[in-house]
Structure 1
Amino acid sequence: MGQRTVIITGGNRGIGLDITRTYVEAGYHVVVGARNAYDLEKEFGDQVTFVKVDVRKESDHVLLTEIALQKTGRIDCYVNNAGFSEWRPIEEIDEAFLDDILNTNLKGAFWGCKAAAKVLGPEGTIINISSIAGKRGSSNNSAYVASKFGMNGLTQSLAKELGPKQIRVLALCPVLISTDGLLDALQSPYAPANGNPEAFISNFAKGNSALLRLPTGREVGNMCVFLASNAASAMTGQCINVDCGVLPQ
């Protein structure tokens, strides 16, 4: 059968780009679904297929699976990575903002899971990129936290539902990882960085991490590749922290 294939939403920047790189290095063909390609072809050539999608639309997730099957004839893993964070106190949250963050982070993952469940065979894997915010709340972050708690609940429920088909469903819960998206989000007057994201991240690592550092996007990618492999064949329904010991559980 064809080359091992993974679909990654938001696999064009930030943590998602690191996940894409890691799967390519592991020998996968990667189908990236996002709004912009950001020169993926320049870096990866024909190892990556880019598809312009809006993850808030169920039909776009179906399109990703159709293109992946046309490309290689198989889908081994579906990574729901697309999402964004923004700190806002509840009095500043309006319906448009709440719809955007829930539709992108939670509903986007839901539609990805639904599309993947239709096409994955036994030993297929769904991996949801959640957050440590899906396990504990934080001030001025209620909308994002709610979306990630929802993603963890989705993961646990679908692990039970899809387990009889031998499809495994897992979530990864990274702590703060220094990406352009996070640094931009930390510039918000409501974020905890007080206008200095780099200093905040450094101090957070020193004060909260068992390893006195924070994880990298590549380490998240390594975990994704591991979870999609037969080495993790007994693992499903878990929401695994990738946090250098910030929240030991």
Structure 2
Amino acid sequence: MKLPQTPSLRLDGRSALVTGASQGIGLACACALAQAGARVTLVARNAERLEEVVAALRTAGHEAEGLALDVQDQGATRRALAGRRFDILVNNAGTNRPKPIDQVTEEDYAAVMALNVRATYFLTQTVIEEMPAGGSVINVSSQMGHVGAKNRSLYCASKAAVEGMTRAMAVELGPRGIRVNSLCPTFIETPMTQPFFQEPGFREAVLAQIPLERLGRIEDVMGPVVFLASPAANLITGSALMVDGGWTAH
């Protein structure tokens, strides 16, 4: 009797592009993909920090390169990536400006939507030009794309847009053999979220929503991103993988 074999979680021979990769979730995703065998290109605006991360990855024996780039500059991005082929794209670059709805400015709206939505959309458009069948696009979204929260109407709107584009892209790119999924973390302790936890009572309010009763760590996204990128997820597309400690199970 021939027993079924678990599809591999290895990514040897594959190339990956990760945005917002110099710190936090993006750094964790880049490390995870590299540790699974992928050749990783890390994109971020902070060239100095990017060089440090790439050097550390190479010292650890991984194939990595840095690309100092603002993904909001569509023209520069297209020029930098022209003719390059990636099997995996992780759209992680993002921002948040939490405010009461009556204090959100047009500039806030433009900044959040430009990075969280517009840059994700057009970078994907660029990368899929050369992406082969078997490719995987992973949009780092948020539990806030599925629930509402005080002072986060703008962020929730941007991540709900990411969820919508993920599903539509999955439908359109499926015939080409390209999968598109979103990864939806809860609050992960990163440099971006650290200031939020300085607010009185904020940590307690967040923990009250998480059945596992703890905040996320960057390591919590590493297994899920490798899974979505790997052959183990070959029939998964148009899905949102919740990494939220149970928040959205309420």
Interval of TM-score (by shorter of Structure 1 and Structure 2): 0.7 to 0.9
Q: Do structure 1's residue 55 and structure 2's residue 59 form an aligned pair?
A: no
- What pairs with 1:83-232 in structure 2 (closer than 5 Å)? 83-184=94-195, 186=196, 195-196=199-200, 200-201=202-203, 204-205=206-207, 207-232=208-233
Q: Is the 8 A contact 2:41 2:64 kept in 1?
A: yes
Q: 1:42 maps to what in 2? A: 55
The residue matched to 1:6 in structure 2 has which SS? strand
One-letter identity of the residue aligned with 1:10: G
Q: 1:190 maps to what in 2? A: none
Q: Is the 8 A contact 1:76 1:120 kept in 2?
A: yes
Q: 1:29 maps to what in 2? A: 39
Q: Is the 8 A contact 1:176 1:201 kept in 2?
A: no
Q: 1:7 maps to what in 2? A: 17
One-letter identity of the residue aligned with 1:156: R
The structural deviation recorded for 1:216 is 2.0
> What residue ranges of structure 1 are gaps of 5+ in the alignment?
187-192
RMSD of Structure 2 on Structure 1 (CA): 2.0
The structural deviation recorded for 1:201 is 2.9
Q: Is the 8 A contact 2:146 2:248 kept in 1?
A: no
CA distance in 2, matches of 1:204, 1:110: 30
The residue matched to 1:247 in structure 2 has which SS? helix
What is the TM-score with the length of structure 2 in the denominator? 0.86
One-letter identity of the residue aligned with 1:31: T
The residue matched to 1:170 in structure 2 has which SS? strand
The residue matched to 2:183 in structure 1 has which SS? strand
The residue matched to 1:240 in structure 2 has which SS? strand
The structural deviation recorded for 1:218 is 1.8
234-243 vs 208-217, which moves further: 208-217
Q: Percent identity?
A: 31
Q: Is the 8 A contact 1:77 1:125 kept in 2?
A: yes
Give the number of equivalent residue pairs. Answer: 233
The structural deviation recorded for 1:85 is 1.3
The structural deviation recorded for 1:246 is 1.4
CA distance in 1, matches of 2:244, 2:32: 18
Q: 2:93 maps to what in 1? A: 82
One-letter identity of the residue aligned with 2:18: I
CA distance in 2, matches of 1:111, 1:16: 18
CA distance in 1, matches of 2:102, 2:212: 36
Over 4 Å off, 4+ runs: none
The structural deviation recorded for 1:194 is 6.9
Q: Is the 8 A contact 1:65 1:119 kept in 2?
A: no
> What residue ranges of structure 2 are gaps of 5+ in the alignment?
1-11
214-223 vs 47-56, which moves further: 214-223
CA distance in 1, matches of 2:136, 2:80: 16
The structural deviation recorded for 1:195 is 2.1
CA distance in 1, matches of 2:188, 2:66: 24
The structural deviation recorded for 1:19 is 0.8
Q: Is the 8 A contact 1:7 1:64 kept in 2?
A: no
The structural deviation recorded for 1:90 is 2.2
17-26 vs 154-163, which moves further: 17-26
CA distance in 2, matches of 1:209, 1:62: 40
